[in-house]
Amino acid sequence: LRRRYFPADVNWRIEQGSALDREYLTSLGKFDVVYSWGVLHHTGKMYDALENAILPTAPLGKLFIAIYNDLGTRTERWRVPARRGPQPPPQLDRGRGTWDEPLARHRRLGRRLSVRGRHTGSDLRLLREARISTGDAEMRRCRSRMQRVRVRPGGGLSLRRPRPAAKAALAAICLWASPLSAATIVVPAGGDLHMALTNARPGDTIALARGETYVGNFTLPQKDGAQYITITTEGPDTVAENERMTPEAARQLAKLRSPNNQSVIQTASGAQHWRLALLELQGAASGSGTDQILALGSSGPSQNAVAQVPRDLVVDRCYIHGDSLVGAKRCVALDSAATTVTGSYISDCKRIGQDAQAIAGFNGPGPFTVSNNYLEGSGENIMFGGADPAIPNLVPADIRITGNLISKPVSWRNERWTVKNLVELKNARRVTISHNIIQFNWSGGQSGVGVLFTVRNQDGGCPWCQVEDVVFEYNLLQHAGGGFSILGFDDNHPSQQTRNITIRNNVLADIDEKNWGGNGYAFLLVGGARDITIDHNTIVQEHAHGVVLADGPRVLGLSFTNNVARHNDYGIMGSDHSPGADTISAYFPAAEIVANVIADGDPARYPRGNRFPSSAEFRAQFVSYETGDYRLVPTSAWKRAGSDGEDLGASPVIAAGLPKDPRSSRPQP
């Protein structure tokens, strides 16, 4: 390879890697090259080499190049064409090139190009030689002093020249050779972040100083364009993509802190394509803290039309928290559209005498993705609905809540924070809640039920409010005074009917009135919801009134199948009716209740086709009931005994290896 594809004066070697890396290299032709660069000025031969550095069998070749010189080490990723022979110049896939040579050679790249070397006064000449029709360049002097160069249509230049620099001073020019330009705007400690937000354009990155604090109330303005503007901490990522931020990793992040009860970051009307990554956002430490630390959109009358809603917003690997002593009312407000919150750690969202949430949305249409976060809120950890939308007929929709740890610190039981529930939907449709751990809720501001699907026309101005088309699956719900509460209609103001709710393949563990207060019911069905499917759930209650409690109008379209639970005191029970058949006839006409295990229940009271083992037999069916491994043992009579031919109870995917009770410590992601 070296003799065939690289000139003799280019020094390179295969970088040390894992066995998998080496196999990847051998079979696919993707390889690491370390290029030792001994001088500041490059001759251009590296580009010639890259154009032909393709293994003959490789469908796609990539080079990862580390450059060593007295400026430090930089790593570039280059995408190389998939065939040999003369090729266009390679395109930057990520990062910036670092060659100090005439720019005209690279004007076709269409991506950012950085030219680094000693400042000699020839920078303007290089820019002119590039003959870029439009674009921008940024001159960085030593100690992060920076100047922007505008390349005007027709090749003209405007530049406010820097003061003469010492010969040893390093300079860099970052050139964008595409009509949609992009820049990196560095805001040093004490710099003007407001100005950076105003000046940033689509595609730009605003880099904040590592470990520094920026105090203020900042607004993300409306910008035209479909490229994201990113605000981030300069330097290498403290947490890799697709991983979750932790308070420990956040120590190195740039910090934005509110000095008052106003948001540290809010959006202007119609703001779009903003991305917050690797930042710490803090509420105020005075008074009762900040009302909304990060406000994406507005729930007030200033946002009363869909056209005003901010959209295309991303919060990625951020640490967002209230003050540890005074808390914050709401850490993230999602009154927006097309918004993602991922990989973040959101905590100390707590209030006394008020509901507080880690995430809440009232006046945004969605879609929303909330994935792989730690979410901690005293009132409701995450909630949609709960305030009448200012936009007529708005229902937050297309919501995905996946892979999160949704939890309250057990230490709050000894404090005065107002505790209600873990997940609540009051106005939402097309919601998927899956693969989460949802834990620690006790009676306080409410009865201790963990998950509420309770439609509310909160202030009387939202008769269209509804909860419908909800799928809750593959979750662990544990350590709570109750499982689910499902309300058919708002009992205070007119609303639409709650309908089409599916709760499938979940484990409900330690749903216990003795440990957490409440009554320990797994399901409260109140007020006439319809089309409720409860299927393949494993329910563990040592101290509870029963499995299902019904009240109010009848529930039409109930399917209760393939679940395993203990009967406890009342099993399936309705107000003013006896357990079992009497309740089922009164509250669940034409219900499908089959292929369930109701341990210690009376077979004479329940429909045929269900099982009624003793509690001892119930416990013996699991791999390790005491440690929370609720997979069925190979000899269990419940295997493949479901109405669908599957095992009774939750899927082994969620039933296996559940965490032990960590109630003595603060849950960690």
Residue 621 or 71, more confident: 621
Write down the pLDDT at residue 658: 52
R_g (Cα) of the chain, nearest Å: 30
d(CA 137, CA 498): 56
What mean pLDDT comes out for the span 231-252? 96
pTM: 0.74
Judged against a pLDDT cut of 70, whether residue 629 lies above it is answered with: yes
Strands (E) located in 554-659: 556-561, 564-566, 572-574, 592-594, 597-599, 622-624, 629-632
For 371-391, how does the pLDDT look when each residue is reduced to its tens digit (9 = 90+)?
999 999 999 999 999 999 999
pLDDT band of 182, cuts 50, 70, 90 = confident
For residue 477, the model assigns a pLDDT of 97
Tokens of 482: 């109750």
| Confidence at residue 60, expressed as pLDDT on a 0 to 100 scale | 38
Assess whether pLDDT exceeds 70 at residue 323. yes
Q: Encode 375-392 in three state secondary structure.
A: EEECCEEEEECCCCCCCC
Task: For 9-56, write each residue's pLDDT tens digit.
Answer: 433 333 333 333 334 333 333 333 333 322 222 333 333 333 333 333
According to DSSP, residue 209 is labeled P
Q: In this prediction, what percent of the chain has a pLDDT beyond 90?
A: 69
**pLDDT for the residue numbered 241:** 93
Task: Please give the average per-residue pLDDT across 67-72, as a whole number.
Answer: 32
Q: In 421-456, which positions are buried (b, 16+ CB within 10 angstroms) versus exposed (e)?
A: bbbbbbbbbbbbbbbbbbbbbbbbbbbbbbbbbbbb
Structure tokens at 654: 């969620």
Counting every residue, how long is the chain?
669
Residues 217, 266 contacting (CB under 8 angstroms): yes
Q: pLDDT of 284-300, one tens digit each? A: 998 889 999 999 999 99
Q: Are 506 and 472 in contact (CB under 8 A)?
A: yes
Strand partners, 423: 382, 451
Query: Does the pLDDT of residue 173 top 90, yes or no?
Result: no
Mean pLDDT of the chain: 78
Picking from 265, 261, 189, 180, the residue whose alpha carbon sits closest to that of residue 231 is 265
User: In Å, how far are 279, 326, 408, 591 from 250, measured between CA atoms?
Assistant: 8, 21, 20, 51
Q: What angle is formed at CA 493 by the lines to CA 492 and CA 494, rounded to 5 degrees?
A: 135
User: What element of type H or E holds 360?
Assistant: strand 357-361
Structural element, H or E, at residue 76? strand 72-80
Asked whether residue 354 carries a pLDDT value surpassing 60, the answer given is yes
- How far apart, in Å, do the first and last CA atoms of the chain sit? 45
Of the two residues 182 and 301, the one the predictor is more confident about is 301
Q: Give 389-407 pLDDT, tens digit per residue.
A: 999 999 999 999 999 999 9
Tell me the percentage of the chain whose pLDDT exceeds 70.
Answer: 71
The answer on pLDDT for 484 being more than 60 is: yes
pLDDT in tens, 99-157: 233 333 333 323 233 333 322 333 333 333 333 333 333 333 322 333 344 433 333 33
Nearest to 108 by CA among 176, 155, 157: 176
Cα–Cα distance measured from residue 244 to residue 540, given in angstroms and rounded to the nearest whole number: 30
